Structure formats: structure tokens, C-alpha cells
A = this chain, B = another copy of it.
Amino acid sequence: MVPETIDLQAKFAAFDGQWQPKIIAELNDYHLKLAKIKGDFIWHSHPETDELFLVVEGEMTIQFRDGATPLTRGQLCVVPRGIEHRPTAEHECHILLIEPAGTTNTGEAGGERTAPGDAWI
């Protein structure tokens, strides 16, 4: 069986909802996820893992306790494990996330904004 072509735009077009990451590919024990984000997320950290954000469309900012990293289309940032961060976007922004399978969006903080960590699209 030949590995499939995975098209980012087609995947983004296939779901609505913000702050609800969708898995699109598996690489060993890592997942690639797409998310649509708008507004302010919660402060949280991932004690066990780094987390990669790549902006596919739009603009976002990752806030840290001691500063902020702005990201626009074609730019990425690796948030180190254990570092508190808060993703924000003024307008809807489309992002690609890379992190170990099972990583939850709210990290150690948990709470009502925790999304299912196993939703494929």
C-alpha cells in the first residue's frame, strides 16, 4: 500500500470549531494535529514534552511569562517542556501542532477547555 498524500488545506476545510485539535498523521509515537484558534487560550504547560507550533494561515502569538513569540504564516516555534505558555490569536489562525501522541491541549492545567486528544480527521 502506498502512503497517502495528506493535504493541509483539505483537512482544515473538513472541520469547524476552535481550540479542538484534530490528528492528521502519525509519525512513530508522535501526532501531527491541525487546529483553528481565535482569542485567548489558557495558561498551561506540558511537563513531559516540548510542543511545536507552525502557522499555516493567519497570525498568532504565544505568550510566555517573560515575553511573547509572534508567529505568522510559515513561521514556527518550539515551546520547551515545562514552560508556561498561552496561545492567542486576534483573528482565526490555522496551525499545525507536533507533539507526542496523548498530549492534551491544556497540559497540566486541565479544565473545561481540555479537548479530546484522539480526534482524527
- Residues from chain B with a CB closer than 8 A to the CB of A71 are 5
Whether, in the assembled complex, A8 has its beta carbon less than 8 Å from a beta carbon of chain B, the answer is: yes
A51–B64 alpha-carbon span in the complex (Å): 31
Query: In the bound complex, do residue A27 and residue B75 qualify as a contact, i.e. CB atoms below 8 Å apart?
Result: no
**A70–chain B nearest beta-carbon distance, Å:** 6
User: Interface size on A (CB < 8 Å)?
Assistant: 40
Whether, in the assembled complex, A49 has its beta carbon less than 8 Å from a beta carbon of chain B, the answer is: yes
Give the contact stretch, choosing among A14-22, A77-85, A110-118.
Answer: A77-85
Query: In the bound complex, do residue B30 and residue A70 qualify as a contact, i.e. CB atoms below 8 Å apart?
Result: no
Q: Mark A47-66, 1 if CB is under 8 A from B, else 0.
A: 00111100010000010101
> Assuming A78-B25, A78-B27, is B52 touching A3 (CB within 8 A)?
no
